[in-house]
């Protein structure tokens, strides 16, 4: 199966209308997304403050697709069970967010979720090497985390290629997700570099709910 044929779309609800967030989650699921991406920011690890486990619990009944929860918080370990209990299906964290990343991965798995590692633009790939046998997803940040609507950092394409080679060498089914500045104009080159999950906020949540299906379709290679 080619990477293009299995690419998934994970709309970031950071760009949704929070006045009616349940309806927004239902709309993107009905429009054909594969995951619902939930950006959790603490105003400490990243310069923004978003949502907590209560919002995840509230949107869970509206999501017919897995909740892809990205924790941009530090320290992270104390919150894993809270987000798992709230309904997270995948929990992704940053290796800088705690002293023992492997222990964090174990805690995520013990809570019944898939475990992901996120690399900021300046985080080296070496951070993955001792975790590659235990994780389910790698998230490459193609912007510096904290805010939506930023421009894609082109140097991350080479990082995506190198991580894809690392996954291939490991012989494991690990999803390679990319988040930050993803849109219909650059999706193809990101997928070609090796990504199989695209996170998009603004590119999906624009022009009203009647456009969500077309917006998601435009991010796929066949779009």
221 phi, psi to nearest 5 deg: -55, -30
Binding site for a divalent metal cation: what residues are annotated? 37, 39, 70, 179
Q: Single out the catalytic residue among 39, 42, 68, 136.
A: 39
What torsion, rounded to 10 degrees, do the Cα atoms 193, 186, 221, 137 define?
50
In whole angstroms, give the CA distance from residue 140 to residue 147: 15
Binding site for substrate: what residues are annotated? 12, 70, 146-149, 179-181, 201-202
Binding site: what residues are annotated? 12, 37, 39, 70, 146-149, 179-181, 201-202
Whether the CB-CB separation of 12 and 39 falls below 8 Å is answered with yes
134 is catalytic: no
The b/e string for 163-199 (b: 16+ C-beta within 10 A; e otherwise) is bbebbeeeeeebbbbbbbbbbeebbeebbebbbbbbb
Q: Single out the catalytic residue among 34, 42, 179, 196.
A: 179
179 is catalytic: yes
Point out the residues that are catalytic.
Answer: 39, 179
């Amino acid at each position: 199966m080619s990477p293009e044929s299995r690419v998934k779309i994970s709309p970031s609800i950071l760009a949704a209308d929070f006045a009616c967030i349940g309806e927004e989650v239902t709309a993107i699921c009905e429009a054909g997304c594969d995951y619902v991406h939930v950006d959790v920011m603490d105003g400490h690890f990243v310069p923004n403050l978003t949502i907590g486990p209560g919002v995840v619990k509230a949107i869970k009944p509206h999501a017919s697709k897995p909740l892809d929860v990205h924790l941009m918080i530090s320290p992270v370990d104390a919150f894993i069970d809270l987000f798992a209990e709230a309904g997270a299906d995948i929990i992704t964290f940053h290796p800088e967010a705690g002293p023992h990343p492997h222990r964090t991965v174990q805690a995520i798995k013990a809570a019944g979720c898939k475990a992901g590692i996120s690399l900021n633009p300046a985080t080296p790939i070496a951070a993955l090497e001792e975790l590659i046998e235990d994780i389910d997803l790698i998230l490459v940040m193609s912007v510096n985390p904290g805010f939506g609507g930023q421009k894609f950092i082109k140097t991350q394409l080479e990082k995506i290629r190198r991580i894809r080679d690392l996954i291939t060498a490991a012989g494991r089914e690990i999803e390679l997700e990319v988040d930050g500045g993803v849109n219909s104009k650059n999706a193809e080159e990101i997928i070609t570099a090796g990504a199989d999950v695209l996170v998009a906020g603004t590119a999906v949540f624009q022009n009203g709910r009647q456009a969500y299906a077309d917006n998601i379709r435009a991010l796929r290679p066949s779009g």
